[in-house]
Amino acid sequence: MPKQSTASRLFAYALVYKFRIIGALLILCCAVGAELCGPFITKTIIDKYLSTGGGDLSSVLWLIALYIGLIFIASVCNFTQSYILQSTALRIIKNMRMDLMKHIQRIPLKYFDNTPIGQVVSRIANDTEAVRDLFMSFMATFVVSLVQLTGIYIALFILDVRLALFCLPLPLIFIVIMKIHLKYSKRFITIMRARLSDMNATINESIAVMPIIQAYRREKVTLEEFEVLNEDRYVNQVKQFRVFSLSSRNIVGVIGSLVTALVVWYFGRESLQTVISFGVFYAFIDYLSRIFVPIIGIFDQLTNAQRAFVSSEKVFAVMDLEGMEVEKSHEVSRPEGIVKFDNVTFAYKSGENVLKHISFEARKGETIALVGHTGSGKSSIMNLLLGFYEPDQGTISIDGTDITTHSKQALRKHMGIVLQDPYLFAGDIKFNVSLYNQDISLERVQAALKDVGAASFVEQLPNGYDEQVVERGSTLSSGQRQLISFARALAFDPSILILDEATASIDSETEGLIQQALKVVSEGRTTLVIAHRLSTIREANQILVLHRGEIVERGNHDQLMAIEGRYYKMYQLQRGEKAS
């Protein structure tokens, strides 16, 4: 199925509120019509006043009252259409932003591995906001200008056919100028939007790693990198403004002055041969000057329209990425937790396998530990089990069922995960444990925190379980954050528990608390542990030693120590003993 054009997709969003938009534009037409009647009424007032010598004031006053009434009607209509159109534009952008956010939840994790976070944020925040101007400003301006030009030319033909025909080519001339403007302007606007995304990505990265930047004295280099992007955006913005200045008010003003001068000369010449009423002369000049107002209005909004189209192309490019539907998982039964990898091979990049023919089985209630040097493939095994990536070869099953037959939500419903770098959300302590899951009560939250040994320090906080977490939990120690992350996993009562180097960043005392808790919570659960501290996995039922994506040793602690292989050497090194 061919992809829809950007214009058609924007139109589809507007179509949802077609009656509101049509109503607003009809009201807008009424306002424009009321305003266009002004010169005709003024012409009639002048003609009546001059023809009666100022004697018939009653009819003149009625015309003045009608003029004032039309001004009032135009004012009310302008307010009404502006409110309806702007509120509708905000609704359209709200829907677009939500659609984009929903789709981001469906995009595979691989996309986020290769895309800076700042660029994704820019799509949701900046680009959708730029699209708003298309519906809020350009649409109203375009319709107003079209109605105004139509009404003005009708009035000009009524007043003088020859002069109206003389002015008829003006819109065609400006259309050619606008096409030239759009051709050169789009190039600069595209670069400007791209640099804005790059700048957002740089800012996001700089703030996230500010301690590293300051520790390694990289402030100057970071500023220089940002300055390159900022300068490039500035240069292209100046070029775009140069195109705008040359092709908008400047050229419209020049052409408008020349045409007005020609019309005045024409009327002056005609006045020597025939009698032309002063009212007709005033009305024609008034309408002629009004021709250039809508043209200038369209030129002023062309930049916003182009920015909106460039931004919408970037938004729709994200929406076009293949994603998986977020399915409901309420009816998913709890698995026993039998995990099996059967001859699994996987590569992040084609031809560069990070896992090669991985096979193992974890029975219900067993603890399987994965050890190995950095890059050996430990985390990749967990990523495959969680469904973040799909294996290139082989199968992964839970309770004998291939996980590819499950929806991602069903697959992860009964899994708990604790990462090496625990992430705490903005909110209070109890929220960070329950994540607003209605099935998890406060009592269950408190029990989970107690099981991992976190209740003691949480209850000592000023607000206890209601204590607010700020800046990813920066007010808490790394060990405290990790304990809360453990409590989160336990509160969800998973049948499969995944610990990704979860004890690597905590002190010995906290590690003791966690080890004590794990003995309780691992009962009846399948636990997979990635560990650098080999002392924490001595009780594991099976230890898998990985090297360059392959399992080179397997067995429990005593068995692996007995063969004095790779695991034995790693263990001895960590104990500070010389490996034999």
CA distance 198 to 102: 23
Of 130-134, 262-266, 355-359, which range is least confident? 262-266
How many CB atoms are located within 10 Å of the residue 133 CB? 19
SS (H, E, C) 77-116: HHHHHHHHHHHHHHHHHHHHHHHHHHHHHHCCHHHHHHCC
What are the backbone angles phi and psi of residue 163, rounded to the nearest 5°? -70, -35
Task: Answer yes or no: is 406 within a domain.
Answer: no
Question: Is residue 365 over pLDDT 50?
Answer: yes
CA distance 81 to 60: 31
CATH number at residue 55: 1.20.1560.10
Q: Residue 20 sits in which domain range?
A: 6-319
CA distance 239 to 211: 38
Distance of CA 432 to the CA centre of its chain: 24
Rg, C-alpha atoms of the chain = 36
Task: Answer yes or no: is 163 within a domain.
Answer: yes
What is the pLDDT confidence band of residue 506, given thresholds at 50, 70 and 90?
Answer: low
Nearest CA-CA partner of 487 in 532, 427, 422: 422
CA distance 82 to 191: 32
247-268 burial, b at 16+ Cβ within 10 Å, e below that, comes to bbbebbeebbeebeeebeeebe
Task: Answer yes or no: is 579 within a domain.
Answer: no
Tokens of 477: 């120690």
How many CB atoms are located within 10 Å of the residue 38 CB? 16
State residue 61's pLDDT score.
Answer: 72
Q: Are 540 and 554 in contact (CB under 8 A)?
A: no
Q: Under the phi-then-psi rule, with left for phi > 0, alpha for psi from -120 to 50, and beta for the rest, what region is 53?
A: left
Of 40-54, 189-203, 512-526, which range is least confident? 40-54
Q: Which residues pair with 554 in a beta bridge?
A: 544
50-73 burial, b at 16+ Cβ within 10 Å, e below that, comes to eeeeeeeeeebeebeeebeebeeb
Question: Is residue 90 over pLDDT 80?
Answer: yes
DSSP state string for 253-295: HHHHHHHHHHHHHHHHHHHHHS---HHHHHHHHHHHHHHHHHH
State residue 1's pLDDT score.
Answer: 44
Mean pLDDT confidence for 166-180:
82
Tokens of 420: 């090496």
Integer angstrom CA distances of residue 447 from 38, 347, 397, 422, 512: 77, 41, 32, 20, 18
Question: Is residue 272 over pLDDT 50?
Answer: no
Give pLDDT tens digits for 288-307.
777 777 787 777 777 777 78
State residue 404's pLDDT score.
Answer: 84
Q: Which residues pair with 415 in a beta bridge?
A: 496
State residue 294's pLDDT score.
Answer: 78
State residue 332's pLDDT score.
Answer: 63
Nearest CA-CA partner of 537 in 528, 546, 548: 528
CA distance 559 to 421: 31
Task: Answer yes or no: is 132 within a domain.
Answer: yes
Residue 114 burial class via C-beta count within 10 angstroms: exposed 0-12, middle 13-18, buried 19 and up: exposed
- The residue written with tokens 């499969």 in the block is 496
State residue 552's pLDDT score.
Answer: 93
CA distance 221 to 205: 14
State residue 518's pLDDT score.
Answer: 67
In this prediction, what percent of the chain has a pLDDT beyond 70?
A: 83
Tokens of 146: 């079209």
Task: Answer yes or no: is 452 within a domain.
Answer: no
Of 110-114, 122-126, 373-377, which range is least confident? 110-114
CA distance 330 to 541: 32
Give pLDDT tens digits for 22-68.
787 778 777 777 776 766 676 666 666 656 655 556 766 777 777 78
- 200's CB contacts (< 8 A; 6+ apart) are 118, 119, 121, 122, 126
What is the pLDDT confidence band of residue 578, given thresholds at 50, 70 and 90?
Answer: very low
Task: Answer yes or no: is 101 within a domain.
Answer: yes
Task: Answer yes or no: is 462 within a domain.
Answer: no
Integer angstrom CA distances of residue 507 from 229, 316, 394, 513, 559: 42, 47, 39, 10, 28
Task: Answer yes or no: is 469 within a domain.
Answer: no
Tokens of 182: 């759009």
State residue 159's pLDDT score.
Answer: 72
If one counts the domains in the chain, the total is 1
- 576's CB contacts (< 8 A; 6+ apart) are none
CA distance 384 to 392: 10
Mean pLDDT confidence for 398-411:
83
- The residue written with tokens 């403004």 in the block is 241
Mean pLDDT confidence for 211-216:
74
> Taking the chain, what is the end-to-end CA distance rounded to the nearest angstrom?
65
What are the backbone angles phi and psi of residue 421, rounded to the nearest 5°? -105, 95
